[in-house]
Amino acid sequence: MKMPNQRDKDTFLYPRSCYYGRVKPQNLVFNANLQIFSQKVAYITADTKKLTNANKSQLFLPASP
């Protein structure tokens, strides 16, 4: 299997999309901040989903008296 290089890892971990709006400094800064925020939300939700799946069996067990 081919080993991924650093650029492949960075592209996977830090995806970026092109900006198609009106080119103004304020819009570019907003777009960059929005991408950073969405990346953080993706990390949080992925981690939460992993934790939820790990504890799912505990949610359906009857409570002990």
Q: What is the pTM (predicted TM-score) of this model?
A: 0.51
Q: Mind listing the pLDDT tens digit for each residue in 6-43? A: 877 777 667 667 778 888 999 989 988 998 898 888 88
| pLDDT on residue 2 | 62
Taking a C-beta distance cutoff of 8 angstroms, is the pair 19, 27 a contact? yes
Q: Which residue type occupies 6?
A: Q
Residue 53: exposure state from Cβ atoms within 10 A (0-12, 13-18, ≥19): exposed
Number of H helices, E strands in the chain: 3, 0
Separation between Cα atoms, residue 48 and residue 50, nearest integer Å:
5
